[in-house]
Amino acid sequence: MCAEACPVSLLPQQLLWYSQAEDHERLEAHNLFDCIECGACSYVCPSNIPLVQHYRSSKSDIKKAQEEKVKSTQARERFEFRKQRIELAEKEREAKRAARREAAKQAQASTGTDAMADIVAAAQARAAAKTTSPEQELAKLQRAVSSAEMRVEKAQVKLDSALENAEPTEKINILSAALSGAQQKLEKAKVRLAEHSN
Ligand code: SF4
């Protein structure tokens, strides 16, 4: 009777079985989401089974499960990305350590004052290269201020978005702390720039 009454030609009885068994795959295969919740099947049901309530509950469960799946996929992707980043950073550090070991080995291998003089001269050259003119220093400090401002803006956007989406308090606190930290760094950068300009 329910199948005959259904205006979208669904099989309400089968849908009820799968709903009770929480068999989401079969529910979707039997086009649960085509149900318009008109209530015709419940109306003609001689056993007065509240069919529509079962369908509504199953739809909600399926949507929740899909959302959870999306969230867990995103979390896994974030985890994988972070892992790759850490591995890459570790490889770079190892490469630098290896380069330093090699340089130290070569330095040990070379004997005599000439070799030592070369090392000292190279160190002096590196130190000289590091010294910057006042103009370069000023540009560097200005860049530091701009980048600190950008970080503050980004932190503010993240916090606003979290507040707008009513994210958990713990996350809001973390984002607030991040914003506060970014603001402090910006202040410091500005102070350094002002000191240099004076
Ligand atoms: S509530 Fe859904 S299953 Fe029942 S008759 Fe209406 S459309 Fe068909």
> CA-CA distance, 108 to 119, in Å (whole number)?
11
Q: Give the model confidence (pLDDT) of 86-122 as tens digits.
A: 999 999 999 999 999 998 888 777 666 677 777 888 8
Residues 49 and 16: beta-carbon distance below 8 Å: yes
180 Cα to the center of ligand 1, angstroms: 55
Distance 68 CA to ligand 1 centre (A): 27
Domain boundaries, the chain: 2-63, 132-198
Q: Domain spanning 132-198 has what CATH number?
A: 1.10.287
* Amino acid in the structure at residue 129: A
Q: Atom 4 (ligand 1): residue with closest C-alpha?
A: 41
Q: Going by CA atoms, what residue is nearest to atom 8 of ligand 1? A: 6
Question: Is the entire prediction scored with pTM above 0.75?
Answer: no
Question: Ligand 1 centroid to 70 CA: how many Å?
Answer: 29
In whole angstroms, what is the distance from residue 87 CA to residue 74 CA? 20
What percent of the chain has a predicted confidence (pLDDT) above 90?
73
**How far is ligand 1, taken at its centre, from the CA of residue 13, in Å?**
10
Is the C-alpha dihedral spanning 15, 16, 22, 23 positive or negative?
negative
pLDDT at residue 196 in the model: 81
